[in-house]
């Protein structure tokens, strides 16, 4: 069994497999950034270090439930620049695990969320802190530029 999580996973079914014993551990939105331990063998699972594909309900639960900044990537499967940004977003999630929670919102599946934040072009990125919009930026950014932008928005510090 492969114990590594997929790159993107739904929060409603967030199950973190233990790399040591393979046990499936459920993590609630409020504890995505916490260092968890396996319920069976007590191995440290670490903070969630990959982007989470979310729907409107997951989005609301996470942005209300975490004290960390939240980076949201609004994207669509047909969007070339979105596909270019996906590995950058994955890198950000890994590099800033425990400092930032990274979410992905498919604008084709949840156009209401995109509309709520005035997203007119994708990829579009927002940073939320305590559920409030801190910064927003459209267009592809290389990882170093995205990290600088996140830092200027108070994330990843």
The residue from 18, 21, 38, 82 that is catalytic is 82
CA gap 106, 1 in Å, rounded: 29
Could you tell me how far CA 3 lies from the centroid of its own chain?
20
CA gap 128, 60 in Å, rounded: 11
Measuring CA to CA, which residue among 7, 9, 2, 1 is closest to residue 26?
A: 9
The residue from 18, 21, 41, 79 that is catalytic is 79
38 belongs to the catalytic site: no
82 belongs to the catalytic site: yes
The single-letter DSSP state of residue 8 is S
**Which residues are tagged catalytic?**
79, 82
């Amino acid at each position: 069994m492969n114990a590594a999580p997929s790159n993107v996973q739904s929060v409603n079914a967030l199950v973190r497999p233990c790399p040591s014993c393979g046990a499936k551990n459920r993590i609630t939105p409020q504890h995505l950034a916490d260092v968890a331990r396996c319920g069976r063998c007590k191995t440290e699972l670490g903070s969630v270090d990959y982007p989470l594909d979310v729907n409107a309900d997951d989005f609301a639960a996470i942005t209300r439930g975490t004290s960390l900044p939240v980076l949201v990537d609004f994207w669509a499967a047909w969007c070339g620049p979105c596909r270019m940004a996906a590995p950058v977003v994955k890198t950000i999630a890994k590099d800033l695990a425990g400092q930032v929670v990274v979410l992905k919102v498919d604008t084709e599946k949840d156009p209401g969320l995109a509309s709520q934040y005035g997203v007119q072009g994708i990829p579009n990125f927002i940073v939320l802190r305590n559920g409030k919009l801190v910064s927003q930026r459209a267009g592809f950014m290389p990882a170093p530029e995205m990290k600088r932008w996140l830092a200027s928005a108070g994330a990843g510090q």
